[in-house]
Amino acid sequence: MSGWSVPTPAAPAAAPVVPPTLQVEGLSVRFGGHLAVSDVSLAVRPGRISGLIGPTGAGKTTTFNAICGVTTPTSGRVLLEGDDISRLGTHQRARRGIGRTFQRLEVFSSLSVADNVRVGQEIRAGWSRRRRPAPQFLAAGAGADPEGIGPADEVDLIVDRLGLAPVADVPVGSLPTGQARKVELGRALAARPRVLLLDEPASGLDDLESEDLGRLLGDLATAGLGVLLVEHDVALVMRVCADLSVLNFGQLIASGTPEEVQSNRAVLDAYLGGGGDEASAAAAAVAAGVEVGPGDPGALR
């Protein structure tokens, strides 16, 4: 011992780490002999939109189903704000704050737009132990104190915020897909989710509607909501997602920022190597910023 003490250089200030709202740890789902999801881990943080992408059949919807409790995983855990919810039923997870929309639009066609949103509220009715504040994005829109928004006002605010006020009393079955998808989103928001899982919300939307959806998702994230987005609209994914997880044949093959992922060779191969359809190949090409002629996906190799 020399007696000299060498001062330890001060560690650089670390960026504050926001704890994840949703954590999926080592999730696997097997259907008979088919491993649809294999050891997938991901996290969704408040105020961020995380993308879950991959070719058709990669296991995205199955991952959502396992997070919601619709499908029982073979192994792995789902944690919501640090609590293991893996053993809870679907309705219990919904009440705890897992909100979701479906790849195959699920709405009550004969009910009005406003009533569909009201149904979402019922999930939390009578469940006061874990009251959640009204979503900030509604309060901001109304210039109101979130605590002061009553249930009826909240339905009106959600309907209004989604641009559905002119059709509030119209049965959802008579609306075009773009509006019906917003109704489904409104129903999910009415349950005041802590994390929102969206399964191809831009499917059936035109370009303008898709841009509109992107802005809305951005507003939700800015208001603090964590979003996990499954989407084939690559332009939308690239615009709104802070990070991406990429699945192929049930396995997580890449994760990182959109920029990191779009130049990842394994990702491009996954989309173009026969696992995806032509639309997916074209989408991957767009993501990579490479022009691919029709019937010529090999141009990227």
Ligand X SMILES: Nc1ncnc2c1ncn2[C@@H]1O[C@H](COP(=O)(O)OP(=O)(O)O)[C@@H](O)[C@H]1O
Q: Is the CB of 58 or the CB of 236 nearer to ligand X?
A: 58
**Interface with Mg ion includes 65 (CB under 5 A)?**
no
- Select the residue interacting with Mg ion from 41, 74, 90, 103 (CB under 5 A): 103
Find the part of the chain contacting Mg ion (CB under 5 A) among 42-50, 101-109, 172-180, 232-240.
Answer: 101-109
| Per-residue contact string for residues 45-64; x = within reach of Mg ion by CB under 5 A | ---------------xx---
**Interface with ligand X includes 94 (CB under 6 A)?**
no
Interface with Mg ion (CB under 5 A), residue total 3
Tell the smallest beta-carbon distance from residue 197 to Mg ion (Å).
Answer: 12
List, in sequence order, every residue forming a beta bridge with 235; answer none if it has no partner.
none
Tell the smallest beta-carbon distance from residue 64 to ligand X (Å).
Answer: 8
* 217 membership: H or E segment, kind and range: helix 207-222
CA pair distance 40, 36, nearest whole angstrom? 11
Q: Is the CB of 65 or the CB of 121 nearer to Mg ion?
A: 65
Find the part of the chain contacting ligand X (CB under 6 A) among 14-22, 52-60, 164-172, 274-282.
Answer: 52-60
**Interface with Mg ion includes 112 (CB under 5 A)?**
no
**Interface with ligand X includes 52 (CB under 6 A)?**
no
Tell the smallest beta-carbon distance from residue 101 to ligand X (Å).
Answer: 13
**Contact partner at residue 59 from ligand X, Mg ion, none, CB < 5 to 8 Å by partner kind:** ligand X
Tell the smallest beta-carbon distance from residue 259 to Mg ion (Å).
Answer: 25
CA pair distance 93, 80, nearest whole angstrom? 9
**Interface with Mg ion includes 203 (CB under 5 A)?**
no
- Select the residue interacting with ligand X from 20, 46, 51, 54 (CB under 6 A): 54
What CA–CA distances, in Å, run from 8 to 11, 15, 46, 274? 8, 20, 34, 54
List, in sequence order, every residue forming a beta bridge with 171; answer none if it has no partner.
112
Q: Is the CB of 31 or the CB of 127 nearer to Mg ion?
A: 31
Q: What are the tokens at 256?
A: 């990182």
**Interface with Mg ion includes 38 (CB under 5 A)?**
no
- Select the residue interacting with ligand X from 18, 19, 26, 31 (CB under 6 A): 31
Q: Is the CB of 103 or the CB of 136 nearer to Mg ion?
A: 103
User: What residue has token string 């002119």?
Assistant: 166
**Interface with ligand X includes 60 (CB under 6 A)?**
yes
Tell the smallest beta-carbon distance from residue 254 to Mg ion (Å).
Answer: 18
User: Can you give the binding site for ligand X, defined by CB under 6 A?
Assistant: 31, 34, 36, 54, 56-62
